[in-house]
Amino acid sequence: MLQKIEAPEVTDIQLSRVHTRKYLNSLENQIPSNGTVKIEEDTYLSRDTLAAARHAAGAAIKAVDMVMKKQAKNAFCAIRPPGHHAHADKAAGFCFINNVAVAAMHAIAEYRLQRVAIVDFDLHHGDGTEDIFRDDPRVMLLSSFEHPLYPFSGVPFTGSNPNVINSPLKAGDGSNEFRDVVRAQWLPRLASFRPQMIFFAAGFDAHRNDDLGHLNLTEADYEWITKKIMLIANRHSQGRIVSVLEGGYKLTSLAKSAKAHIACLVKASPFI
């Protein structure tokens, strides 16, 4: 059963755990009355962009609350704009608020969780998320991404957090290479970390039909990784999973991939 929830707006306190006040004020001050304002290469702010971003982050917060209060076993946040390129103090790559980071910090601050994990399988490296948690060992960050490709980061990792695991893939890689990385580099480390909650930064632009990159994943790969992570969540995290939509720019492959991902989550829970 799918339970659809209207996304509330994130609060300033919730945002302040991740983003600087100076940055948030600068976004507010740049909102145009009409048209768009260029914030960064390929990143534009319109009249309603920030309102949409605040509701996107609010959706991730609401998902954490519902899962932690056992009102849902897991949740998928169908949101835009995405978030994993947003840094504490700047927007980038279509991203203004780092939704998954805000949600992870909410879980830590409000529910006293000591270990949370973020699994990011977007086509692009989540440089903003990495920068936010680069020195925070409470957060494990597992990232696969095409390299070299925007934002040309993640190799090498230079922070102090021992729980950041970057797994670059090269152009042309597909199911075999992706699954090998997950089996060898992610699953053992994730199991030993014993996360109390797991987040997906669920970007579906590594699909073979998405035009923004050169990887060759399929819906079957997204189903596979979802099931693998759910096994660990059931063992160590009381099944707690919050999935936050990131990239995906070919609507047909995005829809099919998200459907495969969500179908796995639904089988674990009567709620989403």
Q: Is 261 a catalytic residue?
A: no
Which of 85, 106, 125, 261 is labelled catalytic? 85
Cβ atoms of 189 and 140 within 8 Å: the answer is: yes
Bridge partners, residue 165, by sequence: 142
Among candidates 139, 127, 213, 215, which has minimal Cα distance to 173? Answer: 215
DSSP 11-23: PHHHHHTTS-HHH
The C-alpha atoms of residue 3 and residue 22 are separated, in whole angstroms, by: 37
Distances (CA, A) of 89 to 20, 21, 57, 159, 204: 6, 8, 16, 17, 26
- Taken as a whole, the chain contains a residue count of 272
Both tokens of residue 180?
Answer: 């090998």
Q: Which residues are catalytic?
A: 85
